[in-house]
Amino acid sequence: MNATATGIPLKEPAVSAVAGDTEQLERAYIDASTRVPVLMFYTSAMAWLILGTLLAGFVSFKLHEPDLLSNISFLTWGRVRPAHMNVMVYGWASMAGMGTAIWLMARLCRTVLRYPLLLVAGACLWNLGVFLGVCGIVLGDSTGYQWLEFPRYAAIILFVAYTLVASWAVLMFRYRRGEQIYITQWYLLGAFLWFPWLYAAGQLMLFAVPVQGVLQTAVGWWYANNLLFLWFGAIALGTAYYMIPKVIGRPVYSYHLATIGFWTYALFSSWTGMQRLIDGPFPAWMITASIAATILTMIPVATVGLNHHMTMQGYFPLMRYSPTLRFTVFGAMSYTVFSVVGLLISLRSVASYVNFTQASIAYSHLGLYAFFTMVIFGSMYYIVPRLVGREWRYASLIKLHFWASAYGIGLMTLMLLVGGFSQGSSMENPTLAFSESVETVLPYLRGRSLAGLLLTASHFIFAYHFGLMLLGLGRTSTVPTFLNPVEAETSGGH
């Protein structure tokens, strides 16, 4: 096949074999209807991403320069850090994920977006909730539970906002055309329904009717882990299942594998979480169950990975041209890396080394950035041109964005993992003073800050490019922006 301008075809995956002119028109019509809500979510997400990145840099530098602005209560490390995490989790990742999910939902239900006001109100309220929550954290109102730090007033607003979005999703489902429910929709429907249950269960068991003693920590980690898998992971996997076949114009390799992958994912990944409490004051069976579940998550990893790989088989050279494909495939591959690292650090023998070290930070960043965020970046490169009617202006900026992100997150993961292991081995050696373990990890933390600078650069580049698109300064062209000039070379048969 020729990788000419039309060599990257835009056919529907699996769902519809025939893509006629009417369908093209219809799709353009649906895309146009999603314009306002999706752009609202994306724009807010970008703003939070920039804020979160600045906070992250601050957190990272303060960890090895502790005297930096430490006399101001709301800039103390212990407040900026949860502010950074929550801005990224609820401001950036959730909003960008919802933006992509909304667009996919409309496309896959094959109907124009109805009730846009629900989404507009949802986006406004969500922003308000995140804003109040972050203010609450820096003013010293944090609840202290990982990823649930937002004080109650912010949590309630977030929940209301979320209810609006989720009810929209369910309504859209009722208007869908066609009997088939595409794989992406399983994941999206799962994410849309899991999140409110999860959030409500977490809030209830921690704040409304708090459980006793150490169970609070168990509920906290159960929430955080399921948020990572059932909310972010599900959105990212669903998006990858759409974008990869879509961009290369080829149906998903196996529907059966996808089914197995989805149900094992839902079943096993939801049982993980307690492995983070390893050796803690808990009944051993809880931790063992989660370790077992973590091992079993290799089934969905293998099936999903195999499915994507076989779909991509022979089309990998297209990553040279399509920004969407490059980001999405990077993210999909990171899903495997993320899961394998998660498995390694939860085995009891390894965990006794890395349990209380920076390695768990590496794990969260692998999941939330290398996997989720990269997939979402990819989807934004696909979706935004269809919303604003312009193509991305500079291929060079996209390339810079990709490489800065990829090297940034790669370096960060490496630094935190290696640093975590050396920190752990110093800590497990009682003949060394405890401060040795901190000394050991500090050089790695400086390296992490360097990686953070790369990520900061990548995010500013992307935000600038995104801003150009919003202002209508993209290219007017019928051909998408390719990363490299498409020569008349053949890319098939590789």
Partner 1 sequence: MKGLAPLFLGIFGTFAFSWVGLTVIPNWQIGHLNPQSDEEGTDIYPQPQSGMFERGARVYVANGCVYCHSEQVRPDYAGADIERGWGNRRSAPRDYIFERQVLLGKMRMGQDLANIGARAPAGQASPLPAGAAAPAGPAGGTSPAASPAPQGAASAASPSAKQSPSSSPPAQAASPATAGSPSVATSPAAVAASPATSPGSSPPTAAAPAGPQTGVGAPWPIQTVGEPAMYSAAWHHVHLYSPRSINVDSNMPSYRFLYEKRRTHEQRSADALKLTGADAPPEGWEIVPTYDAKCLVAYMMALNQSHPLKDVSSVSGAPATPAGAASPAPSPVPAK
Instruction: Pick out residues in 38-77 that bind partner 1 (CB under 8 A).
Output: 62-64, 66-67, 70-73, 76-77
Among 20, 281, 485, 493, binds partner 1 (CB under 8 A): 281
Element containing residue 370 per DSSP (H, E): none
Nearer to partner 1, 208 or 488 (CB): 208
Q: What is the largest CA-CA distance in the chain?
A: 74
Of 405 and 437, which CB lies nearer to partner 1 in the complex structure? 437
> Of residues 27, 141, 156, 447, which one binds partner 1 by CB under 8 A?
141
**Which residue number, 439 or 487, has a Cβ lying nearer to partner 1?**
439
Residues 386-415 that bind partner 1 (CB under 8 A): none
- Residue 108 is encoded by which pair of tokens? 């896959």
Rank residues 431 and 478 by Cβ distance to partner 1 and give the closer one.
431
Among 91, 97, 129, 273, binds partner 1 (CB under 8 A): 273
**What's the closest the beta carbon of residue 89 comes to partner 1, in angstroms?**
15
Asked if 217 is part of the footprint of partner 1 (rule: CB under 8 A), the reply reads yes
Candidate list 82, 99, 245, 261; residue touching partner 1; CB under 8 A: 82
SS3 122: helix
Candidates 356, 394, 460, 464: give the one binding partner 1 (CB under 8 A).
356
Q: Is 442 in the site for partner 1 (CB under 8 A)?
A: yes
Q: Is 129 in the site for partner 1 (CB under 8 A)?
A: no
8 Å CB contact between 332 and 253: no
Q: Could you list the beta-strand ranges (E) of 308-420.
A: none
Q: Does residue 180 bind partner 1 (CB under 8 A)?
A: yes
- Options 101-109, 126-134, 212-220, 366-374: segment touching partner 1 (CB under 8 A): 212-220
Residue 115 CB coordination number (10 Å): 15
Determine if 430 is a binding residue for partner 1 (CB under 8 A): yes
Applying CB under 8 A, among 21, 208, 435, 488 the residue interacting with partner 1 is 435
In order, the DSSP letters of 29-77 are HHHHHTHHHHHHHHHHHHHHHHHHHHHHHHHHHHHHSTTTTTTSGGGSH
Q: Is 171 in the site for partner 1 (CB under 8 A)?
A: no
* Site residues (CB under 8 A) for partner 1, limited to 282-311: 282-283, 286, 289-290
Which two three-digit tokens encode residue 227? 């948020």
Binding to partner 1 (CB under 8 A) within 311-330 occurs at none
- Candidates 104-112, 196-204, 246-254, 450-458; binding stretch for partner 1 (CB under 8 A): 196-204
Contact 473, 444 (CB under 8 A): no
Q: Which of 46, 49, 278, 374 binds partner 1 (CB under 8 A)?
A: 278
Distance between CA 32 and CA 383 in Å, rounded?
11
Q: Which of 313, 434, 471, 487 binds partner 1 (CB under 8 A)?
A: 434
Instruction: Quickly count: other Cβ atoms within 10 Å of residue 435's Cβ.
Output: 9
Half-sphere exposure of 265 (CA within 13 A, CB side): 31
Among 10, 28, 171, 211, which residue sits at the site for partner 1 (rule: CB under 8 A)?
211
Contacts of partner 1 in 227-256 (CB under 8 A): 230
Question: In whole angstroms, how close is the CB of 432 to partner 1 at the nearest point?
Answer: 7
The amino acid at 456: T
Determine, following the binding rule CB under 8 A, whether residue 271 of this chain makes contact with partner 1: yes
Is residue 144 near partner 1 by the rule CB under 8 A? yes
Residue-wise burial string across 159-168, b where 16 or more C-beta atoms lie within 10 A, e elsewhere: bebbebbbeb
CA 10 – CA 381 distance, rounded (Å):
14
User: Closest approach of Cβ 288 to partner 1, in Å?
Assistant: 12
Half-sphere exposure of 410 (CA within 13 A, CB side): 9
Read out DSSP for 394-443?
-HHHHHHHHHHHHHHHHHHHHHHHHHHHHHHHHHT-TTS-HHHHHHHHHH
Residue 131 touching partner 1 (CB under 8 A): no
Q: How far apart are the first and last CA of the chain?
A: 10
Q: How far is the CB of 194 from partner 1 (least distance, A)?
A: 6
The span from the CA of 449 to the CA of 55, in Å, is: 12
With CB under 8 A as the contact rule, the residue among 20, 177, 208, 212 that binds partner 1 is: 212
Type of residue found at 43: T
* Distance from C-alpha of 444 to C-alpha of 423, rounded to nearest angstrom: 10
